[in-house]
Amino acid sequence: MPQIFEPSDVLIIKLVLLVPLILILLGVVNLFRYATSPVAADVAVEQPIPFSHKHHVGDDGIDCRYCHTSVEEGPTAGMPSTSTCLTCHAQLFRDAPALAPLHDSLRDETPIRWKRVHQLPDFVYFDHSIHINKGVSCQHCHGRVDQMPAIMRQQKLDMQWCLQCHENAASHVGPPDQVFAMHDREPLSKAEQKQLVEHLQLQSTERLTSCSTCHR
């Protein structure tokens, strides 16, 4: 029987078939490593401007929503714009060397490139607004930012951590009008939890733990 393919053609065909398989395997391995690897906590991320939440939130009492303007209405909390920072720093400490990137941003009309501290993978859908409006406080996920000179991740933010909250929402939510408060909250009684869960319509754990809730 005559040979249909030359040896070099056979090699190319094998490579073409093997490459997608290798890429898929690498993707599965990376996904597994991401899901099982510990997330570094208590490690500060260097920012273009050394912003202290302890000073701005803890000392000056600035509300989270002043900088994170879309946290109540959208999936992302939003990052402070140059104009937001200049509301104060057009006058206060305007010549401080640490604020030079802020004035460069205004002059060059380029946004400040803040670095993410809390990063979820692309296959996870997370909406800040629904959590805020359902009584999940900022500090539940982000910790006591009013005590942090530099923001550090406090939670792993992996699927198991999210599920333990979704499976038992009653013990993780509080009054929606207190979600931005930075203080240690007294735990609610069982009766208060039941009343709050009914008010927030969080009785259905089936909906809260459905795959499509977070993976769309």
User: What is the pLDDT averaged over residues 121-142?
Assistant: 94
> In the chain, how many H helices and how many E strands?
11, 0
Residue 40 vs residue 181, higher pLDDT: 181
One-letter identity of residue 36: T
pLDDT at residue 175 greater than cutoff 80? yes
pLDDT at residue 112 greater than cutoff 90? yes
Confidence class for position 192, pLDDT limits 50, 70, 90: confident
Cα angle 141-148-43, degrees, rounded to a multiple of 5 = 75
Please say whether the beta carbons of 142 and 118 come within 8 A. Answer: yes
User: What is the pLDDT averaged over residues 158-183?
Assistant: 91
Verdict on whether the full-model pTM lies above 0.95: no
pLDDT at 108: 95
One-letter identity of residue 176: P
pLDDT at residue 14 greater than cutoff 70? no
Mean pLDDT lowest among 10-24, 35-49, 52-66: 35-49
Residue 33 vs residue 80, higher pLDDT: 80
